[in-house]
Structures are given as structure tokens and as C-alpha cells.
């Protein structure tokens, strides 16, 4: 009986495989490697660094579009930007969906994880809301958060033992401040929670991929090797709730108590026409949208920041050129956004960091809504389309030779200006309608972070996790959805002429400006403190940090601080003069003088004869004659008059 069942099962598998192969031939799919029976090309999909393997196939089959197949699923790999633009941009209505993820359905997470939702009306409304508030923040408030976060980082880097952690923390610093208004001293808990959540999600991503292909794996008993998904899945849900809902609820609590801080979330809540009657489901959904943006942004930007540090260690000549470019413009100060796009070499470094080892080498997967024809090929409905971002950013025809090396010069013209025809590494942020809405913010943050670090430090003494010197040929990024650099250690050495006091002063100045700018944006709206990102004093309706009116405001702030400092200095000087005057009266004129300090003056005993004497304070020897009436003559059994003392003192010279 068992043998007959096995025969029937085997025959059914062969029939399914035969039908799938016939269908595949008829469909004229893009070329690709032949798969194994039943399993198809599963082993190619799970290979190490698949983006490099897919690029190799493009050369082998002389086609920038290739395909893989496993039972029930077709994968289409796009290895050129031209094809990606044709499909994801020009045919966006067909290719803007996401693949169905079985694991998310099991956890009821599909409606909550914004980047993995299909391109529907709810997704479009959420993206519109997010983009509206982020775009307005980007033009004003976010730059202040980015600037202060970068300056707090260079202060933390003095003597740090874990620069990688500090650099990642800086990414969370500005995002938490901008998204939720969370102050720096409360951020480490949130950053640690986000890192743990992302790590757990990446750990489950492989198993989730297998469950999508083979759903029966989700129902394996707990004693079966490789199972135990339930416990990790429950942990992931709890972590996601804590990461996405807790900061949002903290902003809601601040709103209830009237202590609303300027942030993206507070702007959204204040913009609601009837906040009190807004459905809880809508608020929870936007909490998830903002939470995913925070976690994904902190993770990817943190990885790119560490990739920059690694590049500076591996290519010290690039670091030297960057120092020279910064020194020529900054002349001893730290950079701010008035220098943005005015130092082409730093702009080129940002572009090269995005290109060199993209943080998402395969981007996020797209899915076709319907069958489509492209050139001579058919892309079936439900096909999973993968944009090989790594292959596009390592195209020698566009980026020149040595694409595996870190060379910012590839983005510069012969006159050292930025080459706009090449300076387009936006593929690192996605394509078409599913492009990351925070791409411009991320690039601005990377620019100010890189420029600030390089203006303060020499990055030296790079070693791997085993303590050996770094070797370019042995550097291997992680083979995962988020490709992070390997562990390494280094030292941040203050540059010549840069001191800790200078860093503290620069940070303090911008914290003061930050606080003042926030105070200029607060006004009352229906009894709720609302963050208004425009200066109310401006003659025109200019945004914070833009135009001559706002610059005048900054100048007035600096002038006010200088006046207060001058007043304080004069007050302290007057106090010192008063104190010295009172002490002079006490010691020179014999008055009661300043009695605030318990000073005991030493005395000198002067013998008048064998039995009579007077005790004279030491300072009395420098008094003018006639000022010693308070002195008495002491003698056994009697006291003399002051006249005898006057005669004695008047006969002395001050020099004695």
C-alpha cells in the first residue's frame, strides 16, 4: 500500500514538472539556467551573494533579463537600468505590487508592514500623508536634527571603543528626533529595540521565503528539526509592536498633556481635522507607517555610514583629498547646510558610497499584476521581478573601469565639478512608484555626516575583528536582504588644529539655534500645540532656514547671546570691584568692611615696657596715623589709654 502511494506521488510530481516545463517553453520566458527536477532553480536563488551570480548570468546568456523557475513561481531578474526603467517606471501600473509573503499572513502583518503592501488605495493615501509631512520637515526641521546628530556623533567619537555602534546610533539619533521628537538621552533603548527587531526579521526572512514556496513547512511539529517558528514569530510581533507603536503613543501622550514636541508625527496628529474622533485603526496604521520608516531608515543609513568609514580606511588617499576639499571651503569651521552641494568631492563620496556596495543589492521585490510582453519575452502574471541594483551600479560602460574600487573621482568632470550624467545612484532607494520616499533626506544626512566626520577626524588604524590589518581583497559584505559591511575596528584621531572644546562649542551653538527655531514654530490651534514649520516673524512666508529673513533671525539670536554674555561679564566685574573695595576698607581704613567672609587677621604683640603691651593687627602697620583709636594697652591689673597707642603708632614709619 505504501509502495503504491509512493508510485502515485512520484508520477504526479513528474506530470506537474512536465506540464510546467511545457508551459515555460510556450511562454517564451527570458533565458536562464536549467533547474533540477521538482526543485527547479531553488539552489540558484539561495546561493551566496546572488546579485553577483545574476550579473554573471547576464553575460553568459547575453541578456540583461534572465529568469529562474521553481514550482509555481517564476522569477525575472533585471540586470540593467534601461530594463528597470521600461518595466518599473513606464509600466508602473503592472509592476508596482509586492509578492505575497505567506509568513506575514500567518502573523497578520501584511496590513501593517507598509513597504510590503500592494499598490492599492490605502497604500497610496498612507504614502501621500507620509511624503507630505516628511517633505515639509525636510525643508526645515529635519536639517537641524541631522546637523545636531552629526555634531553629537563627533563628540561621542572622542575616545570611543565601539565606533561602529556610535555611527549606527547617530542614524537613529536624527530619525528619532525628527520622527518623534525623542531627545538623545532617551534614544539608546529605541535604537537597541529596532536593531533587535531587524535582526530577528532578517533571521526569519529565509524561513519565510521557504514557507512562501512550500507552505507545508509552517505546519511541521515542534520536535522536527528546523521548526520552532512559532516562538520566534511571536517574538517578532511583540518587537514590532514595541518598535512601531510605543514612540507614536508617546507623542499622543505629549499631545494630551500639552507638551507636544516638533516632529513628523506631531505634525500629522495636529493636521487631523478631528483628532478626538479619528478611528483607532487609522492611527494604528499611521503608527506602523512611521515606525517602519524609522526602523528601515536607521538600519540602512547606519549600514551606509559604516560602509563610508570602511572605505576611508581602505582608501586613505580618498580621505586625504576629502580633507583638502573641506579645508579649502570651511577654513577652520565645521560644515553646515549652507555648504551643501558646494564641495563637489564630498558629493562624489556620497554617490560612491551608494554605488560601491549598495545596502540593498537586490532592492525590494516587485510582482506583476498581469501578464506582460517585453521585447521577445513574456513575463507571466504573478512573476516576482528582481532589480539587480548591484549589477546596475557596477556597470563599467557607465561608471568606468575598476568598478569594485572606491573612486569618487568617477563622479567628477575634468574641472572637478560633479558629473550630473553619472551622479545618479538613486537605484539604491528603489524605482518607480515604490521608490523610498525618504531618499532625499537620507542623502542629505549622509552628506552632512561624512563632511562633519572628515572635518574633525583622521580615520586610521583599521583592523578586522581578529585584529589584523584590513585587506581590500578580503572584505566581504553580508549576503542578505540588507548587505552590511563586515565587523572592523578603527581609531578616530582629532585632526591638527581641532580640539574637543571646538566640537563642544560648535554643538552648543546649534543646540541653541535648534531650541530657538522650535520656539518660533509653536502656536495654538484648536487648543492643541501645533508645530508650525514656518517663521511667524518673517516678512514673507519663508520656511525655516531659507531666505534672508530667517538668516536675519539667526543673526539676531547670535547678537542676543553676545549681549547677554557681555552683561553677565560686566556684572561679575562689578561684584569683584565691590568685594575688593570692601576688603580695602577693612584692611586699610579700619572700618567694618566686607563681613561676608570669616577672615581672621594675624596680630603682632608690641611690648611697651616689662609689663605693658598692645596686640596690633598686622594690617595696622600700614594704616595712616590717627586711625588706631580702637587699640588698647594691656598691663597686669590695668589697661592704658589709646593716647599711648597713638603716640607709639605715629612714631612708626609705614615701611617698618
- More confidently predicted of 341 and 209: 341
Sheet holding 638-640, edge to edge: 603-607, 613-617, 633-635, 638-640
Listed in order, strand segments (DSSP E) in 495-635 are: 522-525, 528-531, 603-607, 613-617, 633-635
* Helix/strand/coil for 377: strand
Q: Are residues 536 and 623 in the same domain?
A: no
Query: Residue 192 has what pLDDT?
Result: 76
* Helix/strand/coil for 599: coil
Looking at 42, 71, 100, which one is the last position of a domain? 71
* The pLDDT of residue 222 is above 90: no
* The pLDDT of residue 651 is above 70: no
Q: What is the DSSP letter of 482?
A: S
Looking at 44, 71, 98, which one is the last position of a domain? 71
Q: Are residues 181 and 317 in the same domain?
A: yes
Residue 100 lies in a domain: no
Contact assessment for residue 140 and residue 545, using Cβ atoms and an 8 Å cutoff:
yes
Q: How many CB atoms lie within 10 A of CB 498?
A: 17
* The pLDDT of residue 531 is above 50: no
Residue 482 lies in a domain: yes
State the Rg of the chain over Cα: 36
- Average pLDDT over the chain reads 76
Query: Residue 608 has what pLDDT?
Result: 52
CATH number of the domain that residue 257 is part of: 1.10.630.10
* The pLDDT of residue 517 is above 60: no
Average pLDDT over residues 7-33: 58
Q: Residue 214: in which H helix or E strand, if any?
A: none
Between CA 112 and CA 116 the distance in angstroms is 9
Between CA 157 and CA 492 the distance in angstroms is 7
Domain housing 47: 2-71
Average pLDDT over residues 609-622: 51
Listed in order, strand segments (DSSP E) in 117-217 are: none
Average pLDDT over residues 261-289: 84
* The pLDDT of residue 4 is above 70: no
The tens digit of pLDDT for each residue in 386-422 reads 999 999 999 999 898 899 999 999 999 988 888 877 7
Between CA 288 and CA 298 the distance in angstroms is 15
**Residue 593: band (very low, low, confident or very high) from pLDDT cuts 50, 70, 90:** very low
Q: Locate 129 and state its grid cell.
A: 500623508
Query: Residue 110 has what pLDDT?
Result: 72
Residue 400 lies in a domain: yes
Q: Are residues 476 and 526 in the same domain?
A: yes
* The pLDDT of residue 52 is above 70: yes
Query: Residue 485 has what pLDDT?
Result: 92
Average pLDDT over residues 353-382: 92
Average pLDDT over residues 593-599: 42
* Helix/strand/coil for 463: strand
The DSSP code sequence of 86-108 is IIIITTHHHH-B----HHHHHTT
Q: Are residues 386 and 511 in the same domain?
A: yes
* The pLDDT of residue 315 is above 50: yes
Between CA 515 and CA 497 the distance in angstroms is 29
* The pLDDT of residue 450 is above 70: yes
* The pLDDT of residue 545 is above 80: no
2-6, 236-240, 530-534, 614-618: lowest mean pLDDT where? Answer: 530-534
Contact assessment for residue 219 and residue 229, using Cβ atoms and an 8 Å cutoff:
no
* Helix/strand/coil for 529: strand
Query: Residue 567 has what pLDDT?
Result: 77
Average pLDDT over residues 221-225: 60
The count of structural domains within the chain is 4
128-137, 361-370, 476-485: lowest mean pLDDT where? Answer: 128-137
Contact assessment for residue 641 and residue 627, using Cβ atoms and an 8 Å cutoff:
no
User: Which residues make Cβ contacts (< 8 Å) with residue 136, sequence separation at least 6?
Assistant: 267, 533
The tens digit of pLDDT for each residue in 360-369 reads 999 888 999 9
Indicate the Cα dihedral angle 192, 196, 198, 201, nearest 10°: -160
**Residue 494: band (very low, low, confident or very high) from pLDDT cuts 50, 70, 90:** very high
CA distances from 208 to 200, 211, 222, 515, 524 (A): 12, 5, 17, 45, 48
Residue 81 lies in a domain: no
47-56, 78-87, 260-269, 397-406: lowest mean pLDDT where? Answer: 260-269
Q: Are residues 414 and 562 in the same domain?
A: no
Between CA 399 and CA 417 the distance in angstroms is 16
Q: How many CB atoms lie within 10 A of CB 597?
A: 9
Residue 308 lies in a domain: yes
Q: How many CB atoms lie within 10 A of CB 216?
A: 7
Average pLDDT over residues 512-533: 40
**Residue 335 buriedness (CB in 10 A; 0-12 / 13-18 / 19+):** buried
Contact assessment for residue 267 and residue 533, using Cβ atoms and an 8 Å cutoff:
yes
Residue 98 lies in a domain: no
Q: Are residues 406 and 495 in the same domain?
A: yes
Pairing of strands 528-531, 522-525: antiparallel
Quickly tell me which residue has 520536535 as its cell: 223
Contact assessment for residue 366 and residue 387, using Cβ atoms and an 8 Å cutoff:
yes
SS (H, E, C) 397-426: HHHCCCCCCCCHHHHECCCCCECCCCCCCH
Q: Are residues 406 and 514 in the same domain?
A: yes
Query: Residue 587 has what pLDDT?
Result: 59
Between CA 138 and CA 145 the distance in angstroms is 10
**Residue 182: band (very low, low, confident or very high) from pLDDT cuts 50, 70, 90:** confident
Q: Are residues 61 and 133 in the same domain?
A: no
Between CA 257 and CA 533 the distance in angstroms is 21
Query: Residue 520 has what pLDDT?
Result: 45
Q: Locate 577 and state its grid cell.
A: 570691584
Compute CA 243 distance to the chain's CA centroid, rounded to the nearest angstrom. Answer: 16
Between CA 355 and CA 370 the distance in angstroms is 32
Q: Are residues 578 and 626 in the same domain?
A: no
Backbone angles phi, psi at 605, to 5 degrees: -85, 120
Q: Are residues 7 and 43 in the same domain?
A: yes
Query: Residue 71 has what pLDDT?
Result: 79
Query: Residue 586 has what pLDDT?
Result: 62
Residue 79 lies in a domain: no
Query: Residue 516 has what pLDDT?
Result: 47
**Residue 308: band (very low, low, confident or very high) from pLDDT cuts 50, 70, 90:** very high
User: Which residues make Cβ contacts (< 8 Å) with residue 163, sequence separation at least 6?
Assistant: 157, 309, 489, 490, 492
Between CA 652 and CA 236 the distance in angstroms is 93
Query: Residue 588 has what pLDDT?
Result: 54
∠ CA 183-189-195, nearest 5°, is 115
**Residue 95: band (very low, low, confident or very high) from pLDDT cuts 50, 70, 90:** very high
> What share of the chain in percent tops pLDDT 70?
71
Q: What is the DSSP letter of 530?
A: E
Between CA 212 and CA 218 the distance in angstroms is 9
Model confidence, pTM = 0.73
Check whether 436 is labelled as a binding-site residue. Answer: yes
Between CA 69 and CA 34 the distance in angstroms is 9
Q: Are residues 340 and 477 in the same domain?
A: yes
Contact assessment for residue 499 and residue 230, using Cβ atoms and an 8 Å cutoff:
no
Contact assessment for residue 247 and residue 294, using Cβ atoms and an 8 Å cutoff:
yes
Contact assessment for residue 437 and residue 317, using Cβ atoms and an 8 Å cutoff:
no
Handedness of CA 50, 54, 55, 59 (dihedral sign): positive
* Helix/strand/coil for 259: coil
User: Which residues make Cβ contacts (< 8 Å) with residue 78, sequence separation at least 6?
Assistant: 64, 65, 84, 87, 385, 386, 387, 388
Q: Are residues 359 and 500 in the same domain?
A: yes
Query: Residue 641 has what pLDDT?
Result: 52
Query: Residue 654 has what pLDDT?
Result: 47
Contact assessment for residue 520 and residue 537, using Cβ atoms and an 8 Å cutoff:
yes
Total count of residues recorded for the chain:
656
Between CA 571 and CA 577 the distance in angstroms is 10
Residue 102 lies in a domain: no
- More confidently predicted of 315 and 242: 315
Amino acid at each position: 500500500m505504501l509502495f503504491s502511494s509512493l508510485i502515485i506521488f512520484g508520477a504526479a510530481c513528474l506530470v506537474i514538472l512536465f506540464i510546467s516545463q511545457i508551459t515555460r517553453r510556450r511562454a517564451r520566458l527570458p533565458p536562464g539556467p536549467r533547474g533540477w527536477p521538482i526543485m527547479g532553480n531553488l539552489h540558484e536563488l539561495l546561493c551566496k551573494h546572488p546579485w553577483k551570480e545574476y550579473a554573471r548570468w547576464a553575460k553568459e546568456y547575453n541578456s540583461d533579463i534572465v529568469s529562474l523557475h521553481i514550482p509555481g513561481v517564476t522569477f525575472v531578474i533585471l540586470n540593467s537600468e534601461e530594463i528597470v526603467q521600461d518595466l518599473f517606471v513606464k509600466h508602473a501600473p503592472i509592476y508596482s505590487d509586492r509578492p505575497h509573503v505567506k509568513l506575514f499572513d500567518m502573523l497578520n502583518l501584511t496590513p501593517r508592514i507598509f513597504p510590503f503592501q500592494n499598490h492599492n488605495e490605502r497604500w497610496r493615501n498612507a504614502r501621500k500623508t507620509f511624503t507630505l509631512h516628511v517633505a515639509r520637515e525636510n525643508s526645515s526641521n529635519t536639517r537641524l536634527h541631522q546637523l545636531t546628530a552629526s555634531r553629537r556623533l563627533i563628540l561621542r567619537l572622542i575616545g570611543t571603543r565601539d565606533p561602529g555602534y556610535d555611527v549606527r546610533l547617530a542614524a537613529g539619533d536624527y530619525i528619532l528626533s525628527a520622527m518623534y521628537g525623542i531627545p538623545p538621552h532617551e534614544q539608546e533603548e529605541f535604537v537597541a529595540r529596532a536593531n533587535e527587531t531587524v535582526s530577528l526579521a532578517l533571521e526569519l526572512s529565509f524561513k519565510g521565503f521557504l514557507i512562501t514556496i512550500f507552505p507545508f513547512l509552517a505546519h511541521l511539529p515542534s520536535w522536527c528539526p528546523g521548526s520552532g517558528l512559532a516562538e520566534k514569530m511571536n517574538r517578532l510581533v511583540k518587537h514590532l509592536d514595541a518598535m512601531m507603536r510605543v514612540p507614536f503613543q508617546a507623542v499622543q501622550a505629549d499631545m494630551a498633556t500639552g507638551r507636544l514636541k516638533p516632529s513628523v508625527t506631531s505634525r500629522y496628529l495636529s493636521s487631523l481635522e478631528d483628532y478626538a474622533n479619528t478611528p483607532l485603526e487609522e492611527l494604528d496604521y499611521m503608527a506602523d507607517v512611521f515606525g517602519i520608516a524609522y526602523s528601515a531608515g536607521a538600519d540602512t543609513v547606519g549600514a551606509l555610514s559604516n560602509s563610508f568609514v570602511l572605505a576611508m580606511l581602505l582608501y586613505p588617499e580618498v580621505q586625504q583629498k576629502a580633507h583638502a576639499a573641506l579645508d579649502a571651503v570651511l577654513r577652520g569651521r565645521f560644515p553646515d547646510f549652507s555648504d551643501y552641494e558646494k564641495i563637489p568631492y564630498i558629493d562624489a563620496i556620497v554617490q560612491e558610497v551608494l554605488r560601491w556596495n549598495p545596502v540593498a543589492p537586490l532592492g525590494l521585490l516587485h510582482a506583476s499584476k498581469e501578464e506582460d510582453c517585453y521585447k521577445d519575452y513574456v513575463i507571466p502574471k504573478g512573476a516576482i521581478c528582481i532589480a539587480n541594483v548591484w549589477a546596475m551600479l557596477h556597470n563599467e560602460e557607465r561608471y568606468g573601469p575598476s568598478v569594485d574600487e572606491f573612486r569618487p573621482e568617477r563622479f567628477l568632470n575634468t574641472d572637478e565639478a560633479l558629473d550630473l550624467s553619472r551622479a545618479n545612484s538613486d537605484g539604491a532607494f528603489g524605482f518607480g512608484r515604490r521608490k523610498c520616499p525618504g531618499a532625499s533626506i537620507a542623502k542629505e544626512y549622509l552628506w552632512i555626516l561624512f563632511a562633519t566626520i572628515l572635518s574633525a577626524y583622521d580615520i586610521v588604524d583599521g583592523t578586522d575583528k581578529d585584529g589584523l590589518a584590513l585587506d581590500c581583497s578580503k572584505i566581504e559584505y553580508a549576503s542578505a536582504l540588507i548587505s552590511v559591511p563586515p565587523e572592523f575596528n578603527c581609531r578616530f584621531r582629532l585632526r591638527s588644529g581641532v580640539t574637543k572644546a571646538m566640537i563642544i562649542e560648535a554643538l552648543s551653538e546649534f543646540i541653541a539655534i535648534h531650541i530657538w527655531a522650535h520656539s518660533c514654530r509653536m502656536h495654538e490651534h484648536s487648543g492643541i500645540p501645533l508645530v508650525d514649520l514656518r517663521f511667524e516673524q518673517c516678512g514673507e512666508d519663508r520656511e525655516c532656514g531659507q531666505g534672508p529673513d530667517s538668516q536675519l533671525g539667526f543673526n539676531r539670536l547670535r547678537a542676543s547671546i553676545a549681549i547677554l554674555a557681555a552683561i553677565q561679564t560686566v556684572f561679575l566685574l562689578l561684584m569683584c570691584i565691590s568685594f575688593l573695595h570692601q576688603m580695602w576698607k577693612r584692611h586699610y581704613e579700619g572700618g567694618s568692611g566686607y563681613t561676608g567672609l570669616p577672615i581672621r587677621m594675624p596680630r603682632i604683640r608690641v611690648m611697651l615696657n616689662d609689663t605693658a603691651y598692645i596686640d596690633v593687627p598686622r594690617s595696622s602697620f600700614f594704616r595712616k596715623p590717627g586711625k588706631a583709636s580702637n587699640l588698647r594697652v594691656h598691663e597686669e591689673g590695668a589697661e592704658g589709654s589709646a593716647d599711648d597707642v597713638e603716640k607709639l603708632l605715629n612714631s612708626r614709619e609705614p615701611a617698618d
